[in-house]
């Protein structure tokens, strides 16, 4: 289910046909007693589980950290308006992927198909017939002929599947919080910078074992209704500034909504977290501290809210580096 969070980053750069708005419902209220107990235990053990805007200070250095969502939503209007003056007064805005990196990624997706295509096998050869049939139907719903999906690397197909068809219009708008803050920075003449090269995510996916990638495909083969419900669950938690809850509930719901065994689910979550969340968090800390060292005023860093919480989240890692953390209004 964490594929949803990662998919928002990659697919926000792709154009797609427009679909009707989603009609999902928040699944938080459907947790069973055992699911609720597991959810609450994990949440209680998660550092910095709440708050989409934090201020980190060390000496005379100040860093504002904003957990974003790479998706347009009317509920984003008020936070974006409140945060715009903060960005306009900053020395620098750091983003997961600033405009130059986005352009480089778009070019790579058009010109380097080796990044996305299997070198030897095809998905019909790697998947059982019934799963390939389900995958074919899911890709048709997303406006892609199955023969095109057949040659794609499994990790990329799983990313495509993680977004329900009704969401493609919102992704095509490129109107998530990170995009809005970047526009505010550019209008105010505030420099922007990427936290990492665009190749980072692709390299992490490419290093994943093929069997794990195939598990990711199976995990993402949910019904359109399930996909819409998972998105609304995540969105409701995000706008309640409960970013850790939005991740934990997706993990808790995985056994109910995917065909994977508990061990297979755990394998997928562990690989995704290490490669695409925790690993990147660790790599960002030197970038953040170097930006502060080179700035006279404060710096704003805006990135996916999934990176904030946890023992290996950006906030805890900054505390480990001697920063004092304070939650501030979002």
pLDDT value for 13: 40
pLDDT value for 106: 82
Q: What is the pLDDT of residues 47-94, one digit of tens each?
A: 999 999 999 999 999 999 999 988 778 899 999 999 999 999 999 999
Exposure of 276 in the CB half-sphere (CA atoms within 13 A): 28
pLDDT value for 12: 43
Three-class secondary structure of residue 93 per DSSP: strand
pTM, whole model, 2 decimals? 0.89
* Of 221-225, 245-249, 272-276, the least confident: 221-225
Q: What is the pLDDT of residues 26-46, one digit of tens each?
A: 999 999 999 999 999 999 999
Q: How far apart are CA 48 and CA 325, in angstroms?
A: 9
pLDDT value for 6: 55
Q: Note down the domain range covering 239.
A: 3-16+24-327
Instruction: Specify the number of domains making up the chain.
Output: 1
pLDDT value for 18: 34
Contact 124, 150 (CB under 8 A): yes
Looking at per-residue confidence, does 99 or 172 come out higher? 99
Position 10 pLDDT exceeds 60: no
Mean pLDDT, the chain, whole residue set: 88
Three-class secondary structure of residue 193 per DSSP: strand
Q: Which residues contact 319 (CB under 8 A, 6 or more apart)?
A: 325
């Amino acid at each position: 289910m964490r594929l949803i969070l990662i998919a928002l980053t990659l697919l926000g750069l792709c154009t797609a046909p427009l679909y009707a708005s989603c009609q999902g419902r928040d699944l938080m209220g459907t947790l069973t007693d055992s699911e609720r107990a597991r959810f609450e235990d994990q949440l209680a053990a998660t550092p910095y589980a709440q708050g989409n805007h934090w201020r980190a200070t060390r000496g005379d250095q100040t860093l504002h950290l904003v957990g974003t969502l790479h998706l347009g939503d009317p509920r984003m209007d008020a936070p974006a308006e409140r945060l715009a003056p903060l960005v306009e007064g900053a020395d620098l805005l750091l983003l997961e992927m600033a405009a130059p990196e986005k352009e480089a990624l778009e070019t790579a997706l058009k010109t380097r198909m080796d990044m996305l295509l299997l070198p030897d096998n095809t998905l019909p050869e790697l998947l059982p017939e019934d799963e390939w049939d389900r995958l074919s139907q899911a890709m048709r719903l997303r406006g892609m002929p199955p023969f095109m999906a057949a040659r794609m690397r499994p990790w990329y197909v799983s990313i495509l599947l993680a977004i329900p068809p009704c969401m493609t219009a919102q992704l095509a708008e490129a109107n998530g919080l990170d995009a809005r803050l970047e526009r505010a920075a550019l209008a105010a003449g505030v420099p922007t910078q990427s936290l990492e090269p665009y190749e980072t995510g692709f390299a992490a996916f490419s290093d994943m074992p093929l069997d794990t990638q195939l598990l990711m495909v199976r995990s993402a083969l949910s019904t359109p209704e399930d996909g819409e419900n998972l998105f609304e669950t995540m969105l409701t938690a995000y706008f309640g500034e409960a970013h850790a809850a939005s991740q934990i509930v997706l993990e808790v719901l995985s056994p109910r909504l995917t065909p994977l065994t508990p061990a297979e689910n755990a394998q997928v979550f562990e690989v995704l977290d290490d490669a695409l969340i925790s690993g990147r968090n660790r790599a960002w800390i030197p970038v953040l501290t170097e930006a502060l060292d080179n700035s006279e005023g404060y710096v704003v860093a805006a990135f996916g809210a999934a990176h904030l919480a946890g023992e290996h989240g950006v906030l805890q890692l900054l505390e480990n580096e001697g920063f004092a953390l304070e939650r501030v209004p979002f």
